[in-house]
């Protein structure tokens, strides 16, 4: 919803909001059983909670749109993912816990294979092993570009992050990736004066890198895309009036939370520690984002049983989550990752909201019952307005 309206309606009342994101939560039924992962799993604690909650399905970004982690989370945080488009370079940097400065320009890099004519024969360098690509990245660190600092960080396989650090750089730099085999990497070009200067430096870097990698077998070239600066998103405290904490194990999600002004708290060991950390910091914050990764990982692996198992594991933490005593407790997902697709998908995602103002009576926590729930099928970006209302943090609109 419109942030000016949020700022106008919000009021402070000391209430607490908890959002649990089960990454890639939604699924699809196995043809043999006609049961989805959630329907198969023994999630008795969630189902007990569901019976005293309002249920619905969230549309992560738009009908038919399969979101990445960035837009999926931003929507649940209340940020329109079409309006707030986080550059790929920034997401990659955030995902490896790289601290971007305000003037840095970050890009997502791919190592690739060039043939003897300099045309791309493999866009991902045969998904080169991380130990090989890490050494290559170390080579690239030796590159000097006139007037700026160049930082290169490995990510995984063929992926790396390039950061240009210096004054007056622009991020409106075009991709060097021709997006197909048999073409040469493109020269970067700038969309404005600062970015034109930056593009020259990017091309200088690429030329030196290609020279350095000439002897490599697999990864003798590279492409760059998603040039972006650290975005200045409206901050949680300012928009929603909430001091927000993020309890996430993986850097990507801590980074996303930081983008909107949440404070990531250390909890590297997983759910038990995440919940304990929330409890220890209960008085310092009004909003707690708790991220659970295993559902998505199992879904991406195409492992139906592992996804069922991950849901059952999460379910065992539900009593402790309820014991936190939040005024509003939400459980949802940033997108669906059906094991049958082994990938993110566009399917609406089961969502549950518990507070003392719910109608309840909606059934169990799965795709079928959530579609018939009190909340209906609604845009994920609206979930925060529901949370604020249920927390008593919105004044009446109009007389």
85 makes contact with a second copy (CB under 8 A) = yes
377 makes contact with a second copy (CB under 8 A) = yes
Taking a C-beta distance cutoff of 8 angstroms, is the pair 158, 127 a contact? yes
86 makes contact with a second copy (CB under 8 A) = yes
Tell me, residue by residue from 198 to 237, as one string, x for binding to a second copy by CB under 8 A and - for no binding.
----------------------------x-----------
Identified binder of a second copy from the candidate list 41, 43, 53, 71, rule CB under 8 A: 71
Least distance in angstroms from the C-beta of 101 to a second copy:
21
Q: How far is CA 18 from CA 58, 220, 246, 328, 358, in A?
A: 17, 47, 10, 6, 16
Q: Which of residues 101-130 bind a second copy (CB under 8 A)?
A: 108
Size of the site for a second copy (CB under 8 A): 67
Least distance in angstroms from the C-beta of 146 to a second copy:
30
Q: How far is CA 158 from CA 79, 116, 120, 134, 370, in A?
A: 31, 20, 14, 9, 39
80 SS3 class: coil
| H-run or E-run covering 18 | strand 17-22
61 makes contact with a second copy (CB under 8 A) = yes
Query: Maximum distance among all alpha carbons in the chain?
Result: 73
Least distance in angstroms from the C-beta of 36 to a second copy:
7
d(CA 61, CA 59): 6
Identified binder of a second copy from the candidate list 48, 68, 250, 324, rule CB under 8 A: 68
28 makes contact with a second copy (CB under 8 A) = yes
Identified binder of a second copy from the candidate list 36, 40, 43, 53, rule CB under 8 A: 36
Which residues have C-beta within 8 Å of that of residue 369, sequence separation ≥ 6?
50, 55, 362, 363
Which residues have C-beta within 8 Å of that of residue 105, sequence separation ≥ 6?
89, 163, 164, 169, 170, 171, 173, 198, 227, 228, 229
Q: What residues make contact with a second copy under the rule CB under 8 A?
A: 1-2, 5, 9, 28-29, 34, 36, 57, 61-71, 81-82, 85-86, 88, 91-92, 108, 226, 338, 340-341, 344-348, 357-362, 367-368, 371-378, 382, 384-390, 394-399
């Amino acid at each position: 919803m419109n942030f000016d309206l949020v700022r106008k309606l919000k009021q402070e009342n000391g209430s607490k909001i908890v959002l649990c994101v089960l990454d890639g939560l939604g699924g699809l039924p196995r043809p043999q059983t006609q049961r989805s992962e959630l329907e198969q799993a023994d999630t008795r604690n969630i189902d007990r909670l569901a019976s005293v909650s309002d249920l619905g399905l969230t549309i992560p970004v738009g009908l038919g749109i399969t979101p990445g982690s960035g837009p999926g989370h931003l929507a649940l945080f209340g940020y329109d993912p079409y309006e707030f488009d986080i550059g790929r370079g920034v997401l990659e940097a955030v995902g490896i816990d790289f601290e971007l400065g305000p003037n840095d320009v970050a890009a997502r890099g791919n190592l690739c294979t060039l043939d003897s004519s300099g045309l791309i024969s493999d866009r991902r360098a045969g998904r080169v092993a991380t130990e090989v690509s890490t050494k290559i990245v170390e080579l690239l660190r030796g590159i000097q570009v006139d007037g700026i600092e160049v930082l290169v960080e490995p990510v995984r396989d063929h992926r790396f992050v390039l950061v240009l650090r210096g004054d007056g750089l622009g991020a409106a730099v075009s991709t060097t990736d021709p997006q197909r085999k048999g073409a040469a990497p493109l020269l970067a070009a700038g969309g404005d004066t600062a970015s034109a200067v930056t593009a020259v430096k990017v091309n200088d870097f690429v030329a030196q890198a290609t020279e350095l990698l000439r002897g490599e077998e697999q990864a003798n070239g590279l492409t760059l895309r998603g040039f972006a600066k650290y975005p200045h998103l409206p901050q949680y405290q300012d928009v929603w009036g909430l001091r927000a904490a993020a309890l996430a194990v993986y850097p990507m999600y801590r980074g996303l939370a930081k983008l909107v002004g949440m404070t990531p708290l250390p909890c590297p060991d997983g759910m038990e520690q995440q919940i304990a950390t929330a409890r220890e910091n209960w008085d310092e914050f009004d909003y707690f984002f708790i991220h659970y990764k295993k559902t998505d990982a199992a879904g991406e692996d195409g492992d139906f049983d592992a996804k069922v198992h991950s849901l059952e594991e999460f379910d065992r933490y539900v009593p402790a989550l309820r014991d936190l005593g939040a005024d509003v407790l939400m459980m949802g997902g940033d997108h669906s990752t059906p094991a049958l697709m082994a990938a993110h998908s566009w399917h609406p995602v089961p969502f549950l909201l518990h507070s003392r103002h719910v109608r309840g009576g909606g059934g169990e926590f799965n795709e079928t019952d959530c579609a018939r729930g009190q909340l209906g099928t609604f845009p994920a970006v609206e979930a925060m307005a529901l949370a604020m209302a249920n927390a008593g943090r919105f004044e009446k609109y109009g007389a």
